[in-house]
């Protein structure tokens, strides 16, 4: 039985997971900030203006993402897009 662990691959996978978790946390905090300041029934344009005032240096892609997520929440949707990688995390090797 080969119980050899590829440490470099494990570390790379851990860094990738941490980067994705950090990006999700930052995105979620932006959405929460904009959503808490938006009036119920705000239009997409109003939400985008609000997001732009909160985050003036945010890239157009991220601004559109925040705006879309806040609009989706106002319609009763979810902030998180479906992810298939959460269930497939690599378990630590057994020693």
Q: Are the C-beta atoms of residues 47 and 71 closer than 8 Å to each other?
A: yes
Task: Indicate whether this model's pTM tops 0.75.
Answer: no
Angle among Cα 37, 43, 47 to the nearest 5 degrees reads 40
Instruction: Pick the closest to residue 88 from 16, 1, 2 (CA basis).
Output: 16
Q: Counting every residue, how long is the chain?
A: 95
Quote the mean pLDDT of the chain. Answer: 84
The Cα 6–Cα 54 span in angstroms is: 43
What pLDDT does residue 77 have?
67
- 3-state SS class at 22: helix
What pLDDT does residue 37 have?
95
Q: What share of the chain is helix, strand, coil (3-state, %, to 5)?
A: 65, 0, 35
CB atoms < 10 A from the CB of 55, how many? 15
Q: Extract the residue ranges of the chain whose pLDDT is less than 70.
A: 1-2, 77-95
């Amino acid at each position: 039985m080969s119980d050899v662990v590829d440490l470099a691959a494990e570390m790379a996978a851990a860094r990738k997971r941490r980067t994705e978790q950090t990006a999700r946390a930052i995105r979620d905090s932006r959405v929460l900030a904009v959503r808490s300041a938006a009036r119920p029934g705000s239009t997409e344009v109003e939400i985008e203006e609000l997001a732009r005032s909160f985050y003036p240096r945010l890239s157009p892609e991220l601004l559109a993402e925040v705006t879309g997520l806040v609009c989706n929440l106002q319609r009763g949707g979810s902030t998180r897009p479906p992810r298939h990688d959460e269930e497939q995390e690599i378990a630590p090797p057994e020693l």
